[in-house]
Every structure is written in C-alpha cells, then in structure tokens.
Amino acid sequence: MTPNLLRFLWLVPVLPLGGAAVNGLFGRHSSKKAITVVALGFSGLAFVLALTFALNFSAASAPYSMDLAHWLRSGDFRVDFSFYLDQLSLVMMLVVTGVGFLIHIYSVGYMWEDDGYYRFMAYLNLFMFFMLTLVLAKNYLMMFIGWEGVGLASYLLIGFWFVKDSAASAGKKAFIVNRIGDFGFLIALFLMIKHFGTLDFPALFAKIQAIGPEIAGAGTLTAIGLLLMVGAAGKSAQLPLYVWLPDAMEGPTPVSALIHAATMVTAGVYMVARSHMIFERAPSAMTVVAIVGTLTALFAATIGIAQTDIKKVLAYSTVSQLGYMFMACGVGAFSAGIFHLMTHAFFKGLLFLAAGSVIHGIGGEQDMRKMGGLRSYMPWTFLTMGIATLAIAGIPPLAGFWSKDEILWRAFGASWVYWSIGVVTAFITSFYMFRLMYMTFGGEYRGTVPRDAHGHDSHSGDGHGHGEPHESPVVMLGPLAILAILSVLGGFIGYGGRFEHFLAPVFQAGQATQEAAGEVANKSVEYALLGVSVVVALLGWVVAHLFYSGRSEMPARIARALGGLYEGVVHKYYVDELYAALFVKPLIDGSTEVLWHGVDQGVIDATVNKAADGARHVSDEARHMQSGNLRSYAGWVAAGGALVIAYMIWTGVR
Amino acid sequence: MPHLILFLFFGAICVAGAINLLAQSHPINSALSLIVVMASLAAEFLLLGAEFVAAVQVIVYAGAVMVLFVITIMLLNAGKEEHTKGSRVAIVFGVPGVLLAAVLVCWAVVARGHTGSVAIGALPGSPQEIARLLFHEFLLPFEITSVLILIAIMGAVVLASRPEAIAHRPPKAEQPDQSPARGDARQLVAAGKEH
Amino acid sequence: MVPLSYYLVLGGILFVCGVLGFLIKRNIITIFMSIELMLNGVNLTFVAFAAQWHMLGSANALSGQIFVFFVMVVAAAEAAVGLAIIIAVYRTRETLNVDQVNLLKL
C-alpha cells in the first residue's frame, strides 16, 4: 500500500468529526435533507476510504503509523497524536465504518419524525469519530481519548430523550459505571508510564517483548493486565460492571445497535487484543480474563431467558456474547475473539435493527407478551431477523457458527471447564433467541396498535393512525438486508484459518504457541466438538419450539415450579438492588448527611451565618451605649479618662 | 507660716464653694457659690504672686462670665432641678472612676512628686511683663484669640436669636410643609408664642 | 513656704468637683458651671507650675500665666456660645433637664 494513499488515514476519523461539527452547529436550522446529506456523506466517505485502505492491505503489509502533532513532552516521556494502521486496527476500522454507515442509513428512517433529528445525527457522527480514534490510536493515551469519548457519546445517545427520567438516569448510570472501569484503565496507564516510560504501542511492546517470553516481571505485568481488564469490564459490560448495558436500552434502537452491540462495547475486547503481549506474559491476568468472560457469558444468558422486553433480551445476549470474546482472549485465541467480534457486529447489529423495525411497526410496544403473529405483517423483518437468529445460535453455515465454534475449540484446548460452560451457554443462547422469534413472530397477534401513535420505543407519535402492524420503509429495510447477507457470508472470511492468518503479524508471539497446540490436537476431536455445538444449537431451537410456538403451558408450569429461582432470574438476580444498597445508598446518605448537612450547612454556612449573627448580637448589645443621654456619655468619658490617668501614673511612678 | 494659713483659709473657701455647687438644687445658688469659688481662687493667685491673672480672674471670670450665667438663669426662669432618671453608667462607672483617679493623682503628686515649695508672692506677675510677653512672643495666639471671640459672638447671636429676627428666615409657624420630624417642635414654638 | 503639691492638690479637688458636678447634675446650666469650675482648677494648676518654674529660675514663669489668660478667654467664648445653645434648645424643648434632650438615641 503506497504510503501516499495512507497519508489520508487521518481523514477516516476526522471526517465524521466534521460531520458532527456541521450538524451540531448548524443543524438546528437546517432542513432534514441537508442534515441527512451531511451525516451520511461524511460517514460514507470515511467508509469508502476505509474500504480503499482495506483493499490494498494484506497480511504481509507492514503497519503504518502517522504522527499528526506533538502532545505531551515531559522529560523522557512523550506522547503524540498519532494514528496506527495494522491488520487489527484495519479490521476494527472496517467494522466501525461499515456497520456504522449502515446504521446511519437506518437512522434516517427511524428518527425522521423526531425533533432532535439533527442532534441525533451529530451525536452518531461524533461517536464514530471517537471510536475510530480509539481503534486507530498509536498509543494508549490516544486510545483513552477515544475510550472516554465513546463513553461520552454513549451517555449523550442513551439519554437522547433526556426529558424522560428513566433515559436520563440510564445515561448517567452508563457513564458512571464506565468511569469506574476507566479508573482501572488509568491506573494501568500510570503503571505503564512508571515502569516502561512510554505508552506508544510499538515502543512499549518492544520493551515488553525484551523482558522475555515467560512470566518475567511478574508483579507489574499482572497488575497492568488486571487493571486493563477492569477497564475492559466497564466498557464491555462484563461482570461486575455490566449493569449499565440493559438500562442503556432506553436509547433509540439504532443507538443500541451501533454502540451497544456492534462497536462501543467491543472496545474492551479490542483493547485486550491490542495488549495481548502484556497478557501473554501475565498468565494469571489472562486466566482472570477467561474466567470473567466465561462466567459473564453464562450469567447473562440465564437472565436473558426470562426477560419480556425484546431489547432487554438482546442486551443480555450482547453481554453474553462479549463474554465469549473475552473467554477467547483469555485462553490466548485473540484472533478468534476478534473474529467473533466482527461476526457479532453483523448479526447483533442486525438483530437490534430488526427489533427496532418491529417496535416501529407496532407503534412503540416493546413487550414481547404483547407481540406475536407479526410474521404476516412484516415478512422482510421476519426474514432478516430469522437469519440473524440462526447466526447467533451458531447454526452452520452462518457466520456465528464459525466464530463461536473457533472460540469453543480454543477454549477446549485450554480447559474443558471453559468449553462446557461455553456449550451450555450456547444452548441457552439458542433457546432464548428462538423464544424471542416465536413470541414475536409466531402465533397470533396479542397486542393492539394505538390508532394515533406511530411511536418509536414508546416515546412520541406522529399521528400516523394505523390500526395494525406494518412493515418498515425501504430506508430501514435496506441495511437489514445488507447485514443479513453479511451474517450469512461473514463466516467464510475466517473459514479455514484465513482470519488468523490475516491477523498473524499482529499476534505473532501468541499465535505461534497456540497454533502449534491446535495442530497437535486431533482433527477428529475438533469435528466431534463441532458436532456437539451444532447439536446443542438445534436442541435449543427444539426446546424453544416446544415451549413457545403455539399456546403451551410448559413455560408457565416450569416458572411456577422453580418459584423463587425464577423470580430471581426475572429480577436479574437483584444485582441492581444489591449495588444500590451496597454502594449507591451509602454514597448518597453519606453525601447528604456528612457533606451536605455536616460540612456545607453545618460548617461553611454556619460559619458565615454565625459570623453575621455574632456581629448582629454584638452590635445589639453595643448600641445601648448610644442613648442620647449626655450624662452617660460624660460618665464613659470620665471613666476612660480615669483609666488613662491611672495608667500614666502607674508607668510614671515605676 | 502666714502663707500656709492664708492658703488653707482660701483653699477651704474654694472647696466649700465647690461642694456647695454640687449640693444645691437651685442653679442660682450654684452660680453664686461658683462666684465665691472664683473670688477665693483669685486670692490664691495673689498668694502665688500672679497679680494680673488674679485681676483678670475677678474682672472677666467672676465679673463677666458668671454674670452671663446669672442672666441666663434669670432669663430662662430656671427652677429647682427635677428628679429624672439619669444614667446608671455615669453613677456606676464615672464617679468612682473619677474619685479613684483623683486619689491616685494626689498620691502621686504628694508622695512622688519632686516639687519644691513656693514662697508667697513668688511669681513676677506684673502687667508690664505679661504685656511684654503677650505682644512679642505670643502675638499670634493673641490675635487669633480675638478672632475667636469674634466668631463666638457671631455664633452666639445666631444661635440665640429668634428665627424671624434674621431677615431671610421666615417664622417657622407659617411653613406647614416642613418635614414631619419637626412637627412637635413647631407646636411648642407656636404654643410659646401664644403666652 | 507652702509646698507646691498643696496647690496642685487644691486644683485637683476643684477639678474633681467639676467632673462630679457634670456627672451628677441634671440642669444644663449647672453642668456648664461645673465646666467652668473644671477650668478654674486647671488655671490654678497652671499658675502653680509657673511658680515652680520661677523657683527653678527659668523664664517660663510668665508663659504659664499667659496660658491662664488664654484659657480664660476661651472659657468666656465657650460660655457665650454654650449659653446661646442652651437658649436655643430651651426654645424648642421647653426644658432645662439634660435627660430630656436625648433625640440622638438609637
């Protein structure tokens, strides 16, 4: 790839920034057409550029770095604004710009009637700028800019309908929980600066590689790895910092698709993959990553079974699939994790967009118990969503099967425990996804579409006046179709280890050991495990069919039989309540009692008030001296004079 | 010895007059006892030899200032003092304080003061010498004092005059649109004019 | 030969009587007379010290008496103005009781 063309690498993030600026500053008084042209134009151009780079970048290409400007210089430590393109960031860049652009197109249709249309488009572009900065960064500090920026964009977009209390609170929750993770990330950065003196990827990794391939420098690298994982857990919604993601469904559906399925939440996975050299030299940290990912996958999947809001099911599904990606990174299969990231972006993005189409079509209803029978009303949505469901369940030959199977195979290589939990989770995933399909599209329509509402996520209407569910416009169906095609064909990108090979230059050290381990194992074992995955996925489908197609009493009977356990699952294991009691309430109480009443009112206000009161009391007493009575004045003068005379005599006589 | 007797005699009259001033309730009695005080004080001055000062004391102080006081008392028809509630502060703090200071000063002067004795008629107090000093070293204060007296005269005239006596000031009773704070004063003046 | 301190003590007694009169008396004219009494006590002190100077042989003996002269002049002027004020106050307040002239109280 000629460096001449790569000179324009900086345009890829900056173009969406330009779009955000134009729409943000001038959008309020522009026509919707103009806003659309600006938003789609800038982001589309970025996608075209990314494609151009991709077409000319091969597995053998050397990484390209580009320094834009000086930033921090402090003694020997320096950090600059720099971009870096290698195979890993190329994959991420393509995913972000590609899926992002498709969701921009979808949003045109979805958010057209909203008053804040220009704001939405501006925020979407802003998000793309930050995400691209994150993936194209050459050093951890640039990545952190992007990291924080996508957190900001997420807050703005979750709370897009900020007049709704729940949306505003969800935005705050997302930002604050993210912040907790960012704290860990920051400490990791500090450790890196302290011990290695640089945050630049090439320089830093060269130094770490020089340390040695084993557990050298045990304490520091493990600490850095664990702290990076804390940051990733916050951003990518893993245990215990996942609580913001289900609440983030308050935002419009395109936001859920873009940010909370395809791109932002994958930033954590990208960061862990980028830091693979640190993790490979800190086995305990990597084990922690794998355990966290596995447990999260299972945990979230179990919650997803009992949810009735269509977007909440998808949210927990996202958490679960992210757990898979972390499991992959934790066992050393970084490229498998990235592969799953890519396919997940396709089918999860598609799932969310299709869910948005469903919600749009039935007037804003999100409760699946009030859906059903929509297959005849929305055939295209049904078709695309079905494809995505097959993909996520892991049914060959769709994309999800290839990536998920790769992960399970690698997990088996590390420990059968990971593999078995992964398989159980795959069964549960398949079950709840097909449950979603049956409840939404199967049977009879159980709800009513309000005659005067054409709502999106139950927030506003435009007086459409439909009495029955309807299909979405082409502008929304188009991206659905494209993503469906990608969900079908996306797996073949990685088929036969092609993906690994592409990312090999990035992951050399780790890849070597893992590939060697992989080749040694039996091909037959691999096929056996593959068969197990497929069987498990189909089993999930069958069980879902038994329970939810047609009017079956099984779900209700099982729910009653499980009693308390079922209640716990429905209430998300009461984690939110636990956090509220453990952290939020003490913080609020402490803040109110100690800081507000105690310090602010008791000390600061009291000081000022008491000073004023004191002055008033003193003057209240003192004003009696001015009585207008001549003799009292004379008395005071005489007394004072007597004192002075006494003093003079005393000093004179001594 | 005669000096001491004379001193004590006139001193006793002074003190008696001063205490009588305090003790009397009618101001005219106080004024007369003050005249007695001044007269005996003039005798004290003579004992010290300050003839001119003694003469001025009698002529100016006792003869003019006290006469002015007596005229004012008779003009204003001052009667016996009424008993009104005074100021506690003056009694509680002022009187003891002054007495204490006085005792201290006397003790300091008598016990620790390194003053000598004076002979009778010691001072050179003749008018020639006083005048020599007055019109040479102290000419400026002398002239300024005359200006001071002039100002005092003018002030006294203005302050004590009836308002209509000065041409540009109309009588207060004919101005109904004055500030309300002077309301009762006006009524008093109007009442006074009716008598 | 009378010790000078006797004269000073006498002057002090007159002064103190003047102050006490100022504090105790209620009639404004009497208060004024107490002021005059104070000034007289001070005059006696001045003359006594002038005699002391003379006894020490300095030329300040005459200055003391001239100071007394000025004090008397000022006392006369002050008496004139003060009595004029008293007359003005009497015109508005119709009272010579100093306790009833307290408009300046807070």
What is the tens place of the pLDDT at every residue in A214-225? 565 567 888 888
- Tell me the one-letter amino acid at B106: C
Omega before A63 cis (within 30°)? no
Backbone dihedral angles phi then psi of residue A77, each to the nearest 5 degrees: -90, 130
A570/A635 Cα distance (integer angstroms): 87
CB contacts of A641 in chain B (<8 Å) are: 97-98, 101
Supply the pLDDT for residue A636.
87
Q: How far is B74 from chain C (nearest CA, A)?
A: 11
Omega before A397 cis (within 30°)? yes
Residue A374 has pLDDT above 70, yes or no: yes
Taking an 8 Å cut-off on Cβ atoms, the answer to whether C99 and A638 are in contact is no
Please say whether the beta carbons of C14 and C37 come within 8 A: yes
Taking an 8 Å cut-off on Cβ atoms, the answer to whether C102 and A629 are in contact is yes
Supply the pLDDT for residue B27.
92
The 8-class DSSP code of residue A8 comes to G
> Mind spelling out the 3-state secondary structure of chain C?
CEEHHHHHHHHHHHHHHHHHHHHHCCEHHHHHHHHHHHHHHHHHHHHHHHHHHHHHCCCHHHHHHHHHHHHHHHHHHHHHHHHHHHHHHHHHHCCCEHHHCCCCCC
Please say whether the beta carbons of A5 and A73 come within 8 A: no
Q: C-alpha angle A617/A623/A629, rounded to 5°?
A: 160
Q: For residue range B3-58, what is the model confidence (pLDDT) as tens digits?
A: 899 999 999 999 999 999 999 989 999 999 999 999 999 999 999 888 999 999 99
Confidence label for C81 from pLDDT (cuts 50, 70 and 90): very high
Burial track A43-69 (b if 16+ CB lie within 10 A, e otherwise): bbbbbebbeebbeebeeebebbbbeee
A46/C39 Cα distance (integer angstroms): 103
Supply the pLDDT for residue A510.
47
Please say whether the beta carbons of A217 and A211 come within 8 A: yes
Taking an 8 Å cut-off on Cβ atoms, the answer to whether B3 and C74 are in contact is no
Supply the pLDDT for residue A604.
87
Between A626 and B60, the more confident residue is: B60
Residue A460 has pLDDT above 50, yes or no: no
A114/A104 Cα distance (integer angstroms): 15
A424/A525 Cα distance (integer angstroms): 18
Instruction: Look at residue A74 and give its three-state secondary structure.
Output: strand
Please say whether the beta carbons of A400 and A391 come within 8 A: yes
Instruction: Look at residue A84 and give its three-state secondary structure.
Output: strand
Please say whether the beta carbons of A326 and A298 come within 8 A: no
Supply the pLDDT for residue B44.
92
Burial class (CB in 10 A: 0-12, 13-18, 19+), B170: exposed
Omega before A246 cis (within 30°)? no
Confidence label for A515 from pLDDT (cuts 50, 70 and 90): low
- Tell me the one-letter amino acid at A470: H
DSSP line for A119-145: HHHHHHHHHHHHHHHHHHBSBHHHHHH
C3/B116 Cα distance (integer angstroms): 6
CB contacts of A627 in chain C (<8 Å) are: 102, 105-106
The H or E element that residue A78 is part of is strand A77-85
- Tell me the one-letter amino acid at A124: L
CB contacts of B124 in chain C (<8 Å) are: 54, 61-62
Q: How far is B117 from chain A (nearest CA, A)?
A: 21
Taking an 8 Å cut-off on Cβ atoms, the answer to whether B89 and A632 are in contact is yes
Question: Which chains touch B (3+ CB pairs under 8 A)?
Answer: A, C
Instruction: Look at residue A163 and give its three-state secondary structure.
Output: coil
B119/B124 Cα distance (integer angstroms): 12
Taking an 8 Å cut-off on Cβ atoms, the answer to whether B81 and C97 are in contact is yes
Confidence label for C80 from pLDDT (cuts 50, 70 and 90): very high
Q: Where are the alpha helices (DSSP H) in A521-629?
A: 523-548, 554-562, 564-570, 575-579, 585-590, 606-622
Question: Which chains touch A (3+ CB pairs under 8 A)?
Answer: B, C
CB contacts of B27 in chain C (<8 Å) are: 27, 29-30, 33
Residue C106: which of A623, A631, A635 has the nearest Cβ? A623
Stretch A411-429: mean pLDDT? 90
Confidence label for A196 from pLDDT (cuts 50, 70 and 90): confident
Which residue in chain C has the smallest CA separation from B28? C30
User: How far apart are the two ends of chain A, measured CA to CA in Å?
Assistant: 103
- Tell me the one-letter amino acid at B131: A
For B26, residues 6+ apart whose C-beta sits below 8 A from its C-beta are B78, B79, B80, B81
Confidence label for A569 from pLDDT (cuts 50, 70 and 90): confident
C100/A155 Cα distance (integer angstroms): 76
Which residue in chain B has the smallest CA separation from C62? B130
Interface test with B, best of C34, C38, C47, C67 (most B CBs within 10 A): C47
Paired tokens of A30: 């522009």
Confidence label for A464 from pLDDT (cuts 50, 70 and 90): very low
* Cα–Cα separations (whole angstroms), residue C38 to A190, B28, C11: 85, 18, 9
Report yes or no: B89 at the A interface, CB cutoff 8 Å: yes
CB contacts of B101 in chain A (<8 Å) are: 641-642, 645-646
A125/A178 Cα distance (integer angstroms): 21
C22/B90 Cα distance (integer angstroms): 10
Question: Model-level pTM?
Answer: 0.70
In total, chain A counts a number of residues equal to 654
Taking an 8 Å cut-off on Cβ atoms, the answer to whether A631 and B93 are in contact is no
Residue A630: which of C19, C98, C106 has the nearest Cβ? C98
Q: For residue range B119-139, what is the model confidence (pLDDT) as tens digits?
A: 887 788 788 988 988 899 899
Q: Which residues 65-104 of C are in CB contact (within 8 Å) with B? A: 65-66, 68-70, 72-81, 83-88, 90-94, 96-97, 99-100
Q: Determine how many CB atoms are found less than 10 A away from the CB of residue A515.
A: 16
Supply the pLDDT for residue A212.
59
Backbone dihedral angles phi then psi of residue A447, each to the nearest 5 degrees: -115, -175
Return the bridge partners of A69, or none.
A81
Which residue in chain B has the smallest CA separation from C96? B78
Please say whether the beta carbons of A304 and A428 come within 8 A: yes
Between A95 and A526, the more confident residue is: A95
Please say whether the beta carbons of A139 and A80 come within 8 A: yes
Taking an 8 Å cut-off on Cβ atoms, the answer to whether C4 and B76 are in contact is no
Q: Where do we find the tokens 């009781």?
A: C97
The 8-class DSSP code of residue A550 comes to S
Interface test with A, best of B93, B103, B106, B115 (most A CBs within 10 A): B93
Closest Cα partner for B96 from A593, A646, A212?
Answer: A646
Supply the pLDDT for residue A462.
43
The 8-class DSSP code of residue A30 comes to S
Supply the pLDDT for residue A2.
59
Instruction: Look at residue A487 and give its three-state secondary structure.
Output: helix
Tell me the average pLDDT of chain A: 85
Stretch A484-496: mean pLDDT? 79
Residue A514 has pLDDT above 60, yes or no: no
Which residue in chain A has the smallest CA separation from C98? A630
Stretch A120-135: mean pLDDT? 93
Supply the pLDDT for residue A465.
45
Return the bridge partners of A379, or none.
none
A429/A317 Cα distance (integer angstroms): 7
CB contacts of C84 in chain B (<8 Å) are: 155-160
Ramachandran quadrant class, A578 (left: phi over 0; alpha: psi -120 to 50; beta: rest): alpha
Between A345 and A454, the more confident residue is: A345
Supply the pLDDT for residue B168.
64
C71/B60 Cα distance (integer angstroms): 12
A125/A148 Cα distance (integer angstroms): 15
Closest Cα partner for A406 from A323, A320, A343, A337?
Answer: A337
A393/A387 Cα distance (integer angstroms): 10
Taking an 8 Å cut-off on Cβ atoms, the answer to whether A635 and B101 are in contact is no
Q: For residue range A60-105, what is the model confidence (pLDDT) as tens digits?
A: 777 888 888 888 888 888 888 989 888 888 989 999 999 999 999 9
Q: Which residues 20-79 of C are in CB contact (within 8 Å) with A? A: 22-23, 26, 31
